Amino acid sequence: MATKPEKVSVIGAGLMGAEIALVYAMAGHPVMLTDTSDEALGKAKTRLADILSKGVTRGHFKEADTAGTLNRIRPTVKMADLADSDLVVEAVFEDEKVKAEIWGKLDKIVKKGAVFATNTSTIPISTLASYVGPERRPNFLGTHYFSPVSRMKLVEVIPAFDTSEAAIATAFRLAEGAGKVAIRVKDVAGFAVNRVLHAFLIEAVRLVEEEVVTAEELDTACRLGLGHPMGPFELMDAVTNSLTLQAQAIMQDSYGERFRPRPLLKQMVQAGRIGRKANAGWRVGPGTK
Ligand SMILES: NC(=O)c1ccc[n+]([C@@H]2O[C@H](COP(=O)([O-])OP(=O)(O)OC[C@H]3O[C@@H](n4cnc5c(N)ncnc54)[C@H](O)[C@@H]3O)[C@@H](O)[C@H]2O)c1
């Protein structure tokens, strides 16, 4: 890291944004964390304190690495406070309109030369880049983190049409400095990891539809036979079936039949069995194991 650590700003203090702020703060960067209300920011800080203390107890983080981390995260609801950022990571709702408005504002506020990174899972990076001015576009790219960000090491770095090699190099350097492993991926629907993941999840649901195995058995099979840390149904319950369905619909649009969501997944979502959030899913709630 340079002698003076770069200033990082994160927009959106939800599931992803708060932990993205945490990993940069843990790496010694001053971090501004912004959301629409002080309440959301307060909740995020409480969650981060919990992640840090549990992480130390469980041996995921060394206590020395966590010292001062929370103090380096400055919550603010004022976009103007982000003017001096070197890296801006946007992790707000997966809604093009919301993201467009934010990037339009940031374009006017943040100093020239800052790297602009969106954490979108499904909106093309080149589409979001079009919401900043042409002189800003060489510094606009996607950095796709994985949940839980404080534990998952991968970041997909996705250049848009006009992204410069310098911006890509900066995104790699900063992510790697924060303990991540970055890979470069082309701007296609699902990027790389979600394409392979959803092909797998679709086949998992098909196996249950065909009564080849139960959801519980396949989770066990994937843990013990493939070395996965959690099975496909536990994973869908965690990320929600509704998000899974949404991602598959977007990939079906791009790649056709091979990503058509399975009828059983659609039924689960229509019945409100979206996963842990609703305490009803494949492996949580009434009638499940
Ligand atoms: N959840 C995942 O596993 C995952 C994985 C990779 C990428 N992503 C992407 O990350 C982004 C965030 O997802 P999430 O799961 O953290 O969502 P989330 O709903 O947990 O958090 C979004 C946050 O953005 C805030 N927000 C909304 N509008 C805002 C605005 N105008 N200004 C500031 N803050 C605003 C919300 O208040 C909320 O706290 C999405 O683009 C999503 O597709 C999610």
pLDDT in tens, 67-125: 899 999 999 999 999 999 999 999 999 999 999 999 999 999 999 999 999 999 999 99
Whether residue 1 is predicted with pLDDT greater than 60 in this model: the reply is no
Tell me the mean pLDDT in the region 36-63.
95
| Residue of 16, 120, 277 best suited for mutating to test ligand 1, as the one with most atoms within 8 Å of CB | 16
* 236 close to ligand 1 (CB < 6 Angstrom): no
Task: State in Å: Cα 36 to ligand 1 middle.
Answer: 12
Tens-digit pLDDT profile for residues 160-201:
999 999 999 999 999 999 999 999 999 999 999 999 999 999
pTM: 0.94
Residue with token string 């990939």? 251
Task: State in Å: Cα 232 to ligand 1 middle.
Answer: 23
* 129 close to ligand 1 (CB < 6 Angstrom): no
The predicted pLDDT at position 156 comes to 98
* 93 close to ligand 1 (CB < 6 Angstrom): yes
Atom of ligand 1 nearest to the CA of 93: 22
Structural domain 8-184, CATH architecture: 3-Layer(aba) Sandwich (3.40)
In percent, the amount of the chain with pLDDT more than 90 equals 93
The predicted pLDDT at position 281 comes to 97
Whether residue 253 is predicted with pLDDT greater than 70 in this model: the reply is yes
Contact (Cβ atoms closer than 8 angstroms) between residue 233 and residue 262: no
Whether residue 2 is predicted with pLDDT greater than 50 in this model: the reply is no
Contact (Cβ atoms closer than 8 angstroms) between residue 274 and residue 240: yes
pLDDT band at 65, cuts 50/70/90?
Answer: confident
* 36 close to ligand 1 (CB < 6 Angstrom): yes
Task: State in Å: Cα 254 to ligand 1 middle.
Answer: 23
Atom of ligand 1 nearest to the CA of 239: 3
* 37 close to ligand 1 (CB < 6 Angstrom): no
| Residue of 77, 121, 123, 244 best suited for mutating to test ligand 1, as the one with most atoms within 8 Å of CB | 121
Domain ranges of the chain: 8-184, 193-278
Whether residue 41 is predicted with pLDDT greater than 80 in this model: the reply is yes
Whether residue 266 is predicted with pLDDT greater than 50 in this model: the reply is yes
* 158 close to ligand 1 (CB < 6 Angstrom): no
Atom of ligand 1 nearest to the CA of 122: 43
Q: Which CATH number fits domain 193-278: 3.50.50.60, 3.90.10.10, 1.10.1040.10, 3.40.640.10?
A: 1.10.1040.10
Catalytically active residues, by annotation:
121, 144, 156, 194
* 17 close to ligand 1 (CB < 6 Angstrom): yes
Task: State in Å: Cα 99 to ligand 1 middle.
Answer: 10
In this structure, which residue's CA is closest to atom 12 in ligand 1?
Answer: 91
Please give the torsion angle defined by the CA atoms of residues 89, 95, 101 and 106, in that order, rounded to the nearest 10 degrees.
0
* 279 close to ligand 1 (CB < 6 Angstrom): no
The predicted pLDDT at position 101 comes to 98
Whether residue 143 is predicted with pLDDT greater than 50 in this model: the reply is yes
